[in-house]
């Protein structure tokens, strides 16, 4: 197991992804002490400031301090730098939670469908039905029904991912259940639940981790899309999608309001995807023997 971790950490893509993500996590945790101000505070005097402008900033407590707007301000006078840094929190929370939730539920359903033939047909038809619902449409419906809050957004993004994870896990289980070591476990009298937990699950972990990273990346993107369309979190909550949505109106005069959250979003998704690719290359046996000369 240790040698696997070492091998994975040797991979360049994994290293890049891990470093970028660690930096983002640190930034998100330390956001209040990184020279930020209240990201939701509207300071009417400092509307549409250019990046790097220094001006007097009046906070919620009515004190006025000199402050350098590293990334400028938006058309409501909110500090873009603070909003972008606090926005990391929402993106990471949504990405990781969606990945974990859809993996847990999808794994449970996939194990059931893959191992018990009778449940399979019914369960997979339900999953097919779920896959026929467009993700964004479902999100719009849920947000309209339950109101715009973090949990709604997470559920709205996680639900369409569940059938994909289920399909993957089911396919893994279908091939693993034919392995002789499963038959060996049956013939030494191991009960089915133990076979699933001790033999099937550990042998399907690697592809599931890889799938988890892809789910995470697409959840971060989808959350940004929903916010951009005004269907995600309320606009006062700093998310990259919200920042870009407001920047759209003033894009010709203040394009930087779009650039900064956009660059953060792109880098985060790139890092997560590269982590996933690196994990796939190192963990998936199919990619081990590549590189033959032809």
Partner 1 sequence: MSTALPPSPLVGLGERGTAETEATPPRASTIPLSPALPHEGGGGSTTVLSVRNLSVALPGGADRPFAAENISFDVNAGEILCLLGESGSGKSVISFAVMGLLPDNVRVSAGEILLGDENLLTLSPAALRGKRGDDIAMVFQEPMTALNPVMTCGDQLDELLAEHTQLSANERKAKTLAMFEAVKLPEPDRIFSSYPHQLSGGQRQRIMIAMALILEPKLLIADEPTTALDVTTQAEVLSLIKTLQRERGTAVLFITHDMGVVAEIADRVVVLQNGKQVEAGTKDQVLRQPREAYTQMLIASVPGTEPPAEGTLHDEAALLSVTGLGKTYSSGGWFQKKRTTEAAKNVSFTLHPGETVGIVGESGSGKSTVARCITRLIDPTVGDMQLGNTRLDGVSRDSLKLARKRIQIIFQDPYRSLDPRQRVGEAIIEGPLNFGVSRNSAMARARELMNLVRLSPDVLSRYPNEFSGGQRQRISIARALALDPEVLICDEAVSALDVSVQAQVLKLLEEIQAQLNLAILFITHDLRVAAQICDRVLVMQRGEVVEQGTARDVFITPKHAYTQRLLASAPGRGFEFATQRNVEA
Q: Which stretch binds partner 1 (CB under 8 A): 121-129, 148-156, 162-170, 188-196?
A: 188-196
Does 59 participate in binding partner 1 (rule CB under 8 A)? no
Given the complex with partner 1, which of 6 and 63 has the nearer CB atom? 6
Interface with partner 1 (CB under 8 A), residue from 183, 234, 253, 266: 183
Hey, CA dihedral for 60, 65, 71, 77, is it positive or negative? positive
Whether 82 contacts 71, CB under 8 Å: no
* Residue given tokens 């693993």 in the structure block: 176
Q: Which residues of 214-239 are buried (b: 16+ CB within 10 A; e: fewer)?
A: bbbbbbbbbbbbbbbeebbbebebbb
How far is 280 from 147, CA to CA, in rounded Å?
38
Residue 2 beta carbon to partner 1: minimum distance, rounded to whole angstroms: 11
Q: Is 180 in the site for partner 1 (CB under 8 A)?
A: yes
d(CA 86, CA 38) in angstroms, rounded, equals: 9
Looking at beta carbons only, is 61 or 292 nearer to partner 1? 292
Taking the complex as a whole, the smallest distance from the CB of residue 182 to partner 1 amounts, in Å, to 8
Torsion of CA 254, 259, 265, 270, to 10 degrees: 170
Q: Decide: is 189 part of the binding site for partner 1 (CB under 8 A).
A: yes
Does 63 bind partner 1 (CB under 8 A)? Our answer is no
| Measured distance CA(293)–CA(94) in Å, rounded | 43
Closest distance of CB 277 from partner 1, Å: 20
Binds partner 1 (CB under 8 A): choice among 56, 179, 236, 284: 179
The answer to whether residue 126 forms part of the interface with partner 1 (CB under 8 A) is no
Distance between CA atoms of 270 and 274, rounded to whole angstroms? 6
Q: By CB under 8 A, tell whether 181 contacts partner 1.
A: yes
Shortest distance (Å) from residue 289 CB to partner 1: 8
286 forms part of the interface with partner 1 (CB under 8 A): no
Closest distance to partner 1 from the beta carbon of 202 (Å): 4
* Interacting residues with partner 1 between 191 and 230 (CB under 8 A): 191, 194, 198-199, 202-203
For 93, other C-beta atoms within 10 Å of its C-beta total 16
Q: How far apart are CA 147 and CA 153, in angstroms?
A: 9
Which of 16-24, 174-182, 260-268, 271-279 is the region at the interface with partner 1 (rule: CB under 8 A)?
A: 174-182
Assigned token pair, 210: 């890889």
Comparing CB distances to partner 1, the nearer of 186 and 225 is 186
Return the number of the residue (169 or 224) whose C-beta is nearest partner 1: 169
Options 190, 207, 235, 273; binder of partner 1; rule CB under 8 A: 190
Rounded to the nearest 10 degrees, the angle between the axes of helix 150-176 and helix 135-146 is 140
Using CB atoms within 10 A of its CB, is residue 291 exposed (0-12), middle (13-18) or buried (19+)? exposed
- Nearest approach, Cβ of 196 to partner 1 (angstroms)? 13
Under the rule (CB under 8 A), what is the footprint of partner 1?
179-181, 183-191, 194, 198-199, 202-203, 289, 291-294
């Amino acid at each position: 197991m240790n040698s696997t971790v070492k091998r994975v950490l040797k991979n360049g893509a994994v290293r890049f992804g891990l470093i970028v993500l660690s930096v983002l996590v640190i930034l998100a945790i330390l956001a209040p002490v990184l020279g930020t101000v209240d990201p939701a505070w509207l300071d009417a005097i400092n509307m549409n400031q250019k990046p790097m402008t220094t001006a007097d900033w009046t906070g919620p407590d009515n004190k006025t301090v000199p402050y350098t707007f590293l990334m400028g301000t938006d058309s409501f006078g909110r500090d873009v730098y603070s909003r972008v840094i606090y926005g990391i929190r929402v993106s990471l929370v949504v990405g990781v939670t969606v990945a974990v939730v859809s993996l847990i539920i999808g794994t449970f359903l996939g194990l059931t469908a893959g191992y018990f033939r009778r449940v399979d047909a019914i369960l997979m038809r339900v999953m097919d039905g779920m896959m026929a619902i467009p993700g964004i449409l479902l999100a719009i419906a849920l947000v309209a029904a339950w109101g715009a809050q973090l949990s709604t957004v997470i559920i709205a993004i996680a639900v369409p991912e569940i059938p994909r994870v289920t399909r993957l896990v089911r396919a893994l289980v279908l091939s693993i259940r034919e392995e002789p070591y499963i038959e060996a476990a049956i013939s030494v009298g191991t009960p089915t639940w133990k076979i699933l937990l001790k033999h099937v699950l550990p042998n399907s972990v690697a592809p599931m981790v890889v799938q988890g990273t892809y789910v995470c990346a697409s959840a971060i993107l989808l959350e940004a899309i929903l916010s951009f369309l005004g269907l995600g979190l309320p606009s006062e909550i700093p998310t990259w999608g919200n920042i870009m949505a407001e920047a759209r109106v003033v894009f010709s005069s203040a394009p930087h309001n779009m650039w900064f959250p956009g660059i953060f979003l792109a880098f985060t998704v790139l890092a997560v995807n590269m982590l996933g690719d690196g994990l796939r290359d190192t963990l998936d046996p199919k990619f081990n023997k590549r590189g033959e000369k032809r």
